[in-house]
């Protein structure tokens, strides 16, 4: 059955052939540091292991070696950049105080090394030149120390954000495991007990009918009510613990969820006709399924929608999950920020995936919710054909 309205991506793809749907894997990029970066890392670690006094004397030894070379080559070769590099390194590792002491020491070493070969006609001019050099090197040391402090603050902030993100993932994981436990208990416990009671009621109804007892009709009604309760309990257990997401794939699981919701609510829920999308990571598939499940439930329960379209659309290196309805829509303040548990949970799940999630008004009325995730795609040979 064709839905009454289409999403923008469905409309764009309506006149094109549907390609084989990709097999999707979350991208994992690893960058190996260069040999120079490794060498600097080892040197930085060695210098940071020294005390500030030990760091100063270590750089002083290098500075004396540079001064000796500077003395041999005379004033014709300028070693100011080398001296400045020692100041920057000392500021990066030891802070501004060490850098200032290194700058003062380097000025003295440079002054002594070039005293006999300097071209200045007066001692005052030569001293003024060294003072300017000292000022510039001290400025470089202070600036380097500020950059280092800012980098450390940014690193701590990023680490805090990563810890917060990991905490969100763990909270969602605990919630998911608890739902799975409850769903499994419903399926293995309550559903089985209701099914056994239904069989007993069926046997009782057969016995009463064999004896032409008037209570046979009541027993049959009881058995039918129990069977309906079994179906409802199984549907509830399946919604709480969708094991079929891993078994039959995300697209098929979404189609099954849409059929079940439509049967229970009577609201038509259409799933985009597309090939099967496979996700190697079951956590990613489960998060996307939960987002779609919550979005469909919100559209059916709160928006007054007469129709819902559920789409899972591969697009180059991205996968987009869309839920469009033609209901009354959400207020602008609710779209921007909501304290509702459902919308907050969807945002947490999208953040855990590193995905982008947005809720927007549809042209012509209703609401569009989309979740866009960057993935790496590989062609899947067989498309999924819904029943």
pLDDT 10s digits, 197-218: 878 888 888 888 887 888 878 8
Task: Say which residue, 77 or 331, is predicted with more confidence.
Answer: 77
Q: Are residues 254 and 261 in contact, defined by beta-carbon separation less than 8 angstroms? A: no
Query: What own/partner pairs with CB < 8 Å and gap ≥ 24 does 92-96 have?
Result: 92/44, 92/144, 92/145, 92/148, 93/44, 93/47, 93/48, 93/55, 94/47, 94/52, 94/55, 94/56, 95/52, 95/145, 95/148, 96/141, 96/142, 96/145
Binned at pLDDT 50, 70 and 90, residue 30 comes out as: very low
Percent of the chain with pLDDT over 70: 74
Query: Which of the 8 DSSP states describes residue 386?
Result: -
Binned at pLDDT 50, 70 and 90, residue 23 comes out as: very low
As assigned by CATH, the class of the 1-27+250-387 domain is: alpha beta
pTM of the model: 0.49
Q: Which residues pair with 212 in a beta bridge?
A: none
Q: What mean pLDDT is predicted for residues 268-276?
A: 73
The pLDDT of residue 336 is 47
Binned at pLDDT 50, 70 and 90, residue 24 comes out as: very low
Is 80 exceeded by the pLDDT of residue 110? yes
- Measured CA to CA in angstroms, residue 40 lies from 35, 37, 43, 44, 89 at distances of 9, 5, 5, 6, 11
Q: Are residues 137 and 143 in contact, defined by beta-carbon separation less than 8 angstroms? A: no
Binned at pLDDT 50, 70 and 90, residue 73 comes out as: confident
Structure confidence by residue, pLDDT tens digits, 141-162: 999 999 999 988 998 999 888 8
The pLDDT of residue 150 is 92
Is 70 exceeded by the pLDDT of residue 248? no
Q: Are residues 90 and 44 in contact, defined by beta-carbon separation less than 8 angstroms? A: no
Is 80 exceeded by the pLDDT of residue 16? no
Nearest to 5 by CA among 254, 258, 268: 268
Range(s) of the chain covered by CATH 3.30.565.10: 1-27+250-387
Is 70 exceeded by the pLDDT of residue 47? yes
Q: What mean pLDDT is predicted for residues 133-141?
A: 90
Query: Which of the 8 DSSP states describes residue 188?
Result: I
For the ranges 58-62, 352-356, 357-361, the lowest mean pLDDT is seen at 352-356
Q: State the greatest distance between any 2 C-alpha atoms of the chain, in Å, as a whole number.
A: 132
Q: What mean pLDDT is predicted for residues 355-376?
A: 85
Percent of the chain with pLDDT over 90: 6
The pLDDT of residue 215 is 80
The pLDDT of residue 139 is 92
- E strand or H helix at 289: helix 282-301
Is 80 exceeded by the pLDDT of residue 172? no
Task: Say which residue, 232 or 91, is predicted with more confidence.
Answer: 91
Q: What mean pLDDT is predicted for residues 275-283?
A: 66
How confident is the prediction for the chain on average, in pLDDT? 76
């Amino acid at each position: 059955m064709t839905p009454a309205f289409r999403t923008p991506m469905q409309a764009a793809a309506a006149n094109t052939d549907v390609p084989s749907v990709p097999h999707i894997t979350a991208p994992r990029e690893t960058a190996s540091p260069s040999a120079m970066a490794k060498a600097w890392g080892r040197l930085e670690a060695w210098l940071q292991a020294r005390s500030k006094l030990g760091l100063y004397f270590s750089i002083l030894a290098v500075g004396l070696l540079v001064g000796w070379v500077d003395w041999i080559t005379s004033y014709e070769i300028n070693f100011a950049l080398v001296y400045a590099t020692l100041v920057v390194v000392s500021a990066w590792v030891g802070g501004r105080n060490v850098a200032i002491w290194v700058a003062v020491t380097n000025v003295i070493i440079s002054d002594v090394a070039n005293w006999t070969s300097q071209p200045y006609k007066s001692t005052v001019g030569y001293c003024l030149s060294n003072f300017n050099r000292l000022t510039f090197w001290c400025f470089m040391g202070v600036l380097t120390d500020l950059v280092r402090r800012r980098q450390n603050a940014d690193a701590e902030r990023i680490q805090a954000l990563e810890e917060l993100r990991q905490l969100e993932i763990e909270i969602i994981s605990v919630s998911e495991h608890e739902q799975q436990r409850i769903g499994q208990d419903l399926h293995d416990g309550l559903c089985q007990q209701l099914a056994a009671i239904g069989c007993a009621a069926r046997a009782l109804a057969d016995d009463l009918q064999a004896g032409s007892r008037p209570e046979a009709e009541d027993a049959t009604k009881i058995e039918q009510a129990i069977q309906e309760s079994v179906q409802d309990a199984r549907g509830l257990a399946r919604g709480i613990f969708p094991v079929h997401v891993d078994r039959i794939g995300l697209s098929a699981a979404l189609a099954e969820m849409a059929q079940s919701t439509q049967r229970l609510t009577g609201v038509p829920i259409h799933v985009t006709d597309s090939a099967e999308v496979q996700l190697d990571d079951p956590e990613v598939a489960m998060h996307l399924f939960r987002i779609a499940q919550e979005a469909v439930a919100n559209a059916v329960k709160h928006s007054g929608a007469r129709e819902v379209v559920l789409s899972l659309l591969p697009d180059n290196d991205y996968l987009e999950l869309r839920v469009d309805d033609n209901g009354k829509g959400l207020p602008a303040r609710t779209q921007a920020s909501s304290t509702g548990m459902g919308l907050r949970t969807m945002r947490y799940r999208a953040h855990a995936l590193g995905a982008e999630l947005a809720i927007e008004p549809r042209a012509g009325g209703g609401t569009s919710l989309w979740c866009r995730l960057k993935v790496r795609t590989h062609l899947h040979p067989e498309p999924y054909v819904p029943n």
